[in-house]
């Protein structure tokens, strides 16, 4: 089914005003965000509020702009000077593109886990200590404590505690991804962005990651990009459906999956499109 | 060299295979020729004594033959005027290897072949026969003192040789294989550890080894930071665009400029330009004799640093480009700045490439001769440029270099033919140095590849 066959009512965008979070405040406020690569639009006039200490899932067909949106939230696009942006992103009320914003500090607050695990070519310990050291922590005792805490939070401690000084590259894919999560947790972020964190993993590793995500929301805000509908349904509290750079529908996960307002959403989640 | 793989087509397969075989053969032949002739030079060969049909007597070491004639190395340049003799094989009536024939290397006039007749000691004694030989052996071992040797060649012409003039002395015809091996080892050691003597046709090459190494070390100290920083700037700091592309092309083309051109540049800019100014500012009291305004260690090192700069830049850039974007982003996402990411992730991962680049640069520099002839290499500088006198390292002094020494031995010395074995020995040394450096580079690169493969699999 092509976009042309949607009715006019259906293609009308829903603003985040539709969703309110009765029990929490908003973490990210995205307002009229448009983003283009070399003039080619990838996000169009996107407005969305992400709730604090909840798991929000971004779903949508491949190439719809999920990763682009995620990378906008910690300003990874800054590295690419072909990217142009319009609109605002606020984190806890503060514009992340403001003049007085320290990008490195922003990225520490907004941690990111990528699709393929990317541990550094160092030991397990050094991987986790990496960001902590950047914060100026030098004392061995303190580092040891943070490393252990982070590895435990990422449910990896029991598997690696015997040899923390083994190379991170000797771990399995699932372990590596949990190591990357531990590494990110170690710098105490407020938000954790996860870009298809389990898509390269086997089912058992995927389950472990999902458990982990559910457990972490008491500590921080999580945003999960996934193309796996069941996964979104299992772990997220809110779900946003993106299509061709636009936000199509945004609702509490239960509502979106059981009672979508739009045909486009229904078609996608039932597997007829995308 | 990498031959494209052409499956199926038989002709191509054979042709490319033949090319590989030919190249391999050429390399092996070159190495075998240089190394065998280089190492054979130190082997104490038997001395033959020939009696010809006209009654003449000759003593020498057989070195090759051609169309019914044999060539002998007869030494004794001071007696015969030359050191080689061609002898018709048919004219030889008798061949012997008399055990008492000795082979002495002298610091002047080159080797001597003949017999010991008498010996003078500092006490004024005059020893003869077996007693003289015993005393001489003890003197050679350092246990006794001797002043003058009285010797005769096989024709009976007498000669006096001061003992101090003797660099080494042996009776090859009396040696068994063990003695010969020991003498061979000793000869190699002397070659490596002594200064040249007798107008570069004798002695060792130690100042040339030292000069080569010192120059190459100074060169790496200059080229490494410059090359690495240039590559970092090009790859990590500069905005990628037409300008960076142009600079990259220029750098790669720089690698193809003939090395003598660098020599001319070094002479014009470093020696005359920089050196001339340094002299007029700091060493005016010594003018008109130049201090830095003439070729020397510093200028040679700088010239070669310039010559090898592209090698280091290209290798470093390759290493930097190989560091996955995912790892850079991983570091940035943890709150690292771009500089911190560079320092803690990117540079450590590119380190093997940088090392490879430096080693390749060193290998290239160690073998360059042409530019050095313009900027400071010397035919003979037996004093090495490091000593106990302030400033200990004499950057303005001339130095010797293996490559230039090779050229000088073979083509510019008084007796090029006599020096030929030394040419091969020096060439062997140069080849060994460069092979070792290249092997190190290959092993490093292999290591690097293995690390990157490990990442791709994860
Ligand atoms: N670095 C880039 N340069 C140019 N275009 C890009 C780049 N990254 C993504 N795009 C384009 O932007 C659109 C959205 O991509 P992306 O955000 O990666 O989608 P998703 O993660 O939903 O699969 C795609 O059309 C893609 O081709
Ligand atoms: Mg994506």
Instruction: Name the CA dihedral angle for B58, B150, B420, B94, rounded to a multiple of 10 degrees.
Output: 20
Element (H, E) at A22: none
Task: In whole angstroms, give the CA distance from residue B182 to residue B167.
Answer: 16
Subunit contact A173:B335, Cβ cutoff 8 A: no
CB neighbour list of residue A127: distance below 8 Å, 6 or more residues apart:
A119, A120, A168, A179, A180, A183
* pLDDT in the model for residue A5: 39
Residue B416 pLDDT > 80, yes or no?
no
Confidence of residue A11 (pLDDT cuts 50, 70, 90): very low
Which DSSP letter does residue B333 get? T
Q: How confident is the model at residue A14 (pLDDT cuts 50, 70, 90)?
A: very low
pLDDT mean over B33-52:
88
- CB-closest option in B239, B332, B335 to A187: B335
The CATH number that domain A3-269 falls under is 3.40.50.300
CA distance A91 to B380: 74
CB-based contact A173 B345, cutoff 8 Å: no
Mean residue pLDDT of chain B comes to 86
Is residue B54 within 8 A of residue B91, CB to CB? The reply is: yes
pLDDT given at position B5:
58
Between A76, A135, A176, which is nearest B333 by CB?
A76
Cα A48 to chain centroid distance, Å, stands at 14
pLDDT, mean of residues A186-193: 95
pLDDT confidence bin for A16, thresholds 50/70/90: very low
The per-residue pLDDT for range A219-234, each reduced to its tens digit, is: 999 999 998 889 999 9
3-class SS shares of chain A: helix, strand, coil, % to 5: 40, 25, 35
pLDDT for B81 equals 83
Question: Ligand 2 being an ion, which residues bring their Cβ within 5 A of it?
Answer: A 67
Nearest CA in chain B to A119: B327
Residue that the structure tokens 């699932």 belong to: A174
Which two tokens mark B337? 């700045």
Q: What is the pLDDT of residue B367?
A: 86
Q: How far apart are CA A252 and CA A24, in angstroms?
A: 13
Residue A110 CB coordination number (10 Å): 27
Contacts of B342 (CB under 8 A, 6+ apart): B232, B236
DSSP letter assigned to residue A261? S
Contacts with B324 from chain A: Cβ below 8 Å: 118
Of the listed ranges A196-210, A235-249, B186-200, B412-426, the least confidently predicted one is B412-426
Euclidean distance between CA atoms B50 and B56, whole angstroms: 8
Q: Which domains does chain B have, with CATH numbers?
A: 48-172 (no CATH), 206-457 (1.10.3720.10)
| Closest alpha carbon to B52 in B86, B83, B103 | B86
Residue to mutate (ligand 1; options A34, A37, A196, A243; most atoms within 8 A of CB)? A37
pLDDT tens column, B327-380: 999 999 999 999 999 999 999 889 888 988 998 898 889 889 999 989 888 777
Instruction: Please give the mean pLDDT across all residues of chain A.
Output: 88
Sign of CA dihedral B412, B413, B415, B420: negative
Q: Is the model's pLDDT at B457 over the cut of 60?
A: no
The pair of structure tokens assigned to B157 is 């012409």
**In the predicted structure, residue B320 carries a pLDDT above the cut 50:** yes
Nearest of B315, B305, B313 to residue B215 by alpha carbon = B305
Alpha-carbon distance of A233 to A237, in angstroms, equals 8
- What are A71-115's pLDDT values in tens digits? 999 999 998 889 999 999 999 999 999 999 999 999 999 999 999
pLDDT at B127 over 60: yes
* Strand boundaries in chain A, DSSP class E: 26-37, 40-51, 55-59, 83-91, 94-95, 110-113, 191-195, 221-225, 238-243, 246-252
Instruction: State yes or no: pLDDT of B448 exceeds 80.
Output: no
**Predicted confidence band at A120 (pLDDT cuts at 50, 70, 90)?**
very high
Say which residue, A253 or B413, is predicted with more confidence.
A253
Distance from CA of B363 to the nearest CA of A (A): 30
Smallest-distance ligand from the CA of A61:
1
Q: What is the DSSP letter of B35?
A: H
């Amino acid at each position: 089914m092509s976009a042309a066959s949607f009715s006019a009512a259906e293609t009308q965008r829903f603003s985040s005003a539709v969703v309110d979070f009765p029990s929490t405040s908003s973490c990210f406020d995205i307002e009229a965000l448009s983003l283009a690569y070399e003039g080619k639009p990838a996000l169009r006039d996107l407005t969305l509020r992400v709730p604090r200490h909840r798991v929000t899932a971004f779903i949508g067909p491949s190439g719809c702009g999920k990763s682009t949106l995620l990378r906008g939230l910690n300003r990874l696009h800054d590295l690419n000077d072909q990217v142009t942006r319009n609109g605002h992103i606020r984190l806890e009320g503060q514009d992340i593109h403001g003049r007085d914003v320290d990008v490195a500090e922003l990225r520490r607050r907004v941690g990111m886990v990528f699709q393929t695990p990317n541990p550094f070519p160092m030991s397990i310990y050094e991987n986790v200590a990496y960001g902590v050291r950047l914060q100026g922590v030098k004392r061995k005792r303190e580092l040891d404590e943070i490393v252990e805490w982070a590895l435990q939070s990422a449910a990896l401690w029991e598997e690696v505690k015997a040899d923390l000084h083994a190379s991170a590259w000797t771990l399995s894919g699932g372990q590596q991804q949990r190591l990357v999560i531990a590494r990110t947790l170690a710098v105490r972020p407020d938000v954790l962005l996860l870009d298809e964190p389990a898509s390269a993993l086997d089912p058992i590793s995927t389950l472990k990651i999902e458990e982990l995500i559910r457990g972490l929301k008491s500590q921080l805000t999580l945003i999960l990009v996934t193309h796996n509908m069941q996964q979104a349904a299992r772990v997220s509290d809110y779900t946003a459906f993106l299509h061709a750079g636009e936000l199509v529908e945004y609702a509490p996960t239960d509502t979106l999956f059981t009672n979508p307002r739009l045909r486009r959403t229904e078609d996608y989640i039932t597997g007829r499109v995308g | 060299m990498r031959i494209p793989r052409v499956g199926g087509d038989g002709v191509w397969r054979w042709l490319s295979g033949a090319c590989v075989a030919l190249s391999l053969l050429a390399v092996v032949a070159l190495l075998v020729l240089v190394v065998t002739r280089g190492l054979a030079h130190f082997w104490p060969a038997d001395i033959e004594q020939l009696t010809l049909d006209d009654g003449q007597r000759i003593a020498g070491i057989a070195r090759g033959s051609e169309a019914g004639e044999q060539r002998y190395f007869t030494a004794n340049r001071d007696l015969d005027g030359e050191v080689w003799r061609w002898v018709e094989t048919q004219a030889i009536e008798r061949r012997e290897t008399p055990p008492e024939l000795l082979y002495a290397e002298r610091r002047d006039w080159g080797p001597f072949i003949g017999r010991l007749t008498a010996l003078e000691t500092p006490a004024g004694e005059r020893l003869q026969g077996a007693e003289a030989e015993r005393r001489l052996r003890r003197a050679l071992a350092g246990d006794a003192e001797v002043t003058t040797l009285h010797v005769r060649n096989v024709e009976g012409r007498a000669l006096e040789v001061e003992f101090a003039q003797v660099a080494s002395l042996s009776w090859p015809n009396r040696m068994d294989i063990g003695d010969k091996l020991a003498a061979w080892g000793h000869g190699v050691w002397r070659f490596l550890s002594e200064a040249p003597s007798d107008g570069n046709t004798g002695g060792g090459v130690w100042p040339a080894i030292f000069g080569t190494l010192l120059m190459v070390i100074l060169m790496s100290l200059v080229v490494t930071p410059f090359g690495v920083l240039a590559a970092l700037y090009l790859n990590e700091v500069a905005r990628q665009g037409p300008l960076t592309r142009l600079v990259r092309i220029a750098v790669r083309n720089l690698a193809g400029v003939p090395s003598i051109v660098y020599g001319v540049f070094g002479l014009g800019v470093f020696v005359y330009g920089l050196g001339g100014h340094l002299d007029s500012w700091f060493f005016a009291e010594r003018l008109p004799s130049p201090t830095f305004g003439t070729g020397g260690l510093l200028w040679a090192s700088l010239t070669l640093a310039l010559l090898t700069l592209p090698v280091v830049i290209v290798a470093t850039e390759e290493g930097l480009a190989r560091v996955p974007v995912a790892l850079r982003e991983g570091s940035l996402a943890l709150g690292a700045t771009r500089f911190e990411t560079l320092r803690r992730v990117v540079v450590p991962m590119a380190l093997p490439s940088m090392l490879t680049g430096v080693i390749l640069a060193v290998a290239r520099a160690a073998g360059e001769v042409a530019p050095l002839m313009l900027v400071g290499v010397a035919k003979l500088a037996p004093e090495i440029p490091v000593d106990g006198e302030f400033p200990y390292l004499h950057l303005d002094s001339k130095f010797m270099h293996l490559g230039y020494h090779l050229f000088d031995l073979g083509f510019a010395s008084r007796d090029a033919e006599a020096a030929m074995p030394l040419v091969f020995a020096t060439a062997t040394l140069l080849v060994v140095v460069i092979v070792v450096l290249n092997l190190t580079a290959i092993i490093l690169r292999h290591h690097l590849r293995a690390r990157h493969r490990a990442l791709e699999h994860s």
